[in-house]
Amino acid sequence: MMKIEGCTAIVTGGNRGIGLGFVEELLNQGAARVYVASRVLADAQAIVARDPARVVAVELDVTKPEQVAAAAAACKDATLVVNNAGLCTMERLYDTDDKDAARREMEVNFFGPLEMSRAFAPVISGNGGGTIINVLSAGGIVAVPEMGGYSPSKFASRAASNCLRAELAPLGVHVAALIVGSVETRMAAHVKNVAQSQPVDIAKAGLWAAARGIDEHDTDPHAIQVRAHQARDPKGLEKAMAKRVSTPRKA
């Protein structure tokens, strides 16, 4: 259980998309301070300007351990971490000319949150306990071949969330996994014929789950639909996902 009002949070990828939605909603719900983590500090200045007394920009690339360590040292009052930074290249695993794409996606989507959890768990624990929120994907409960390495990286991060939840519970740190479906963001611009939720709606759902100590939460109608389809017909859903991949370019 966590109280959002009065908390101090750091949001990775907080300058746009779902991350920005979290920053805005944290401020709306009375967070004492929000660190907006962005790979480029200048990209966070617009949100800092909205409430400079409570919003602080932090330079952070989650694939760089030295920057993660520096962020943990700078944000010593954090009680909530939102691991939102993500990468989706839409490069397939086999039919691709960029064989390093899946590796990059794992670095951001799996190793990034893992490194953040390792660095910030002691900080959160030292501040009396709190929560780590991992922003995951419906592509992490159902394999989506057209998304290439993104889907496996979210599967891995979901498993890591479960493992870390067990490890960090004695420290007073809860790990909440958010299953996110289709959201109106730049990353999801390729999604067609699916109603898209707004980033702030995902943030509201995520903070609601964190405040209640929920382990895993489907944040939007699309995620709920995917979960339901998987429950009633997992093989049928797998085949439906497979049909979305066009004829391979490679022999």
* Mean of all residue pLDDT scores within the chain: 94
pLDDT, position 12: 98
pLDDT, position 65: 97
Contact predicate 42/59, CB 8 Å: no
Contact predicate 10/81, CB 8 Å: yes
Interval 83-122: pLDDT, tens: 999 999 999 999 999 999 999 999 999 999 999 999 999 9
Interval 112-157: pLDDT, tens: 999 999 999 999 999 999 999 999 999 999 999 999 999 999 999 9
Interval 200-218: pLDDT, tens: 999 999 999 999 999 999 9
- Residue 31, pLDDT > 70, answer yes
pLDDT, position 196: 78
pLDDT, position 183: 87
pLDDT, position 250: 57
Listing DSSP states for the chain in one string gives ----TT-EEEEETTTSHHHHHHHHHHHHTT-SEEEEEESSGGGGHHHHHH-TTTEEEEE--TT-HHHHHHHHHH-TT--EEEE---------SSS-S-TTHHHHHHIIIIIHHHHHHHHHHHHHHHTT-EEEEEE--GGGTS--GGGTTHHHHHHHHHHHHHHHHHHHGGGTEEEEEEE---BSSSTTTT--SS--B-HHHHHHHHHHHHHTT-SEEE-SHHHHHHHHHHHH-HHHHHHHHHHTS---S--
pLDDT, position 220: 95
- Residue 35's DSSP bridge partners are 10, 56
Separation between Cα atoms, residue 189 and residue 219, nearest integer Å: 19
Percent of the chain with pLDDT over 90: 90
Pairwise pLDDT comparison (191 vs 220), residue with the higher score? 220
- Residue 173's DSSP bridge partners are 130
